[in-house]
Amino acid sequence: MGLFDKIKAWFFYRFLKKSIDDGQRTKKVFNLMTATSIGIIYDASVPSNSIIVTTFVEKLRVHGKKVFSLAYMNDTKAESNEIMKLFNKASFNWYKIPRIKEVDEFIKQPMDILIAVHTKESLPLQYIAAHSNAKFRMGPYFEKAKTSYDWMIHSEKDLSVESYLKQVEFYLNSINS
């Protein structure tokens, strides 16, 4: 990460800390049995990640869960379509905060669980998680992301998305709520 990116990240975390109001949010722990609605945000920049996440989403839907998903594409030309709602780099402001209708709608959507699926630090996904209307937020462990998630999964450095989702499923099945 270059100096300019570090400066942007500093401003991002400063803005994020000021913009979060946890007093308005009702936190509640859910597991896969008790949750009825699940939101998934993920990095779809790698095509295989989209396939893995889509398979996970379909598995949840087969079990009767209402699933909302939003993908991030690390380019400036990708657009949402009927199959996949997404946002891209062109929708960021200077701090890497997404400012687009799809993101605003996703953030406002009430849901029991939000699962952030990314294995590398992602400022836009952390922003969405931190502002989500989800009662229980789950994501990967990054020291500065503690304000974005209620439950974080600490894993080895080069964890695949598939392995990460297996851990998510394991922990969500293990929680007694």
Q: What is the per-residue pLDDT for 42? A: 95
Whether the CB-CB separation of 106 and 129 falls below 8 Å is answered with no
Q: What is the per-residue pLDDT for 81? A: 64
Angle (CA) 71 17 94, round 5°: 55
Number of domains, the chain: 1
Whether the CB-CB separation of 126 and 96 falls below 8 Å is answered with no
| Strands 66-73 and 37-43, sheet pairing | parallel
Q: What is the per-residue pLDDT for 80? A: 67
Integer Cα distance of 79 and 72 in angstroms: 10
Whether the CB-CB separation of 35 and 60 falls below 8 Å is answered with no
Q: Which domain holds residue 9?
A: 3-174
Tokens (6 digits) for 68: 């909302």
pLDDT digits (tens, 9 = 90+) for 81-132: 666 789 998 888 887 888 899 999 999 999 999 999 998 888 999 999 999 9
Weakly modelled stretches of the chain, pLDDT under 70:
1, 21-23, 79-83, 157, 177
Integer Cα distance of 168 and 116 in angstroms: 10
Residue 85: give its domain's CATH number.
3.40.50
Q: What is the per-residue pLDDT for 129? A: 94
Integer Cα distance of 22 and 38 in angstroms: 20
Burial (CB count <10 Å: 0-12, 13-18, 19+), residue 30: buried
Rounded to the nearest 10 degrees, how much is the dihedral formed by the CA atoms of 8, 43, 102, 87?
Answer: 60
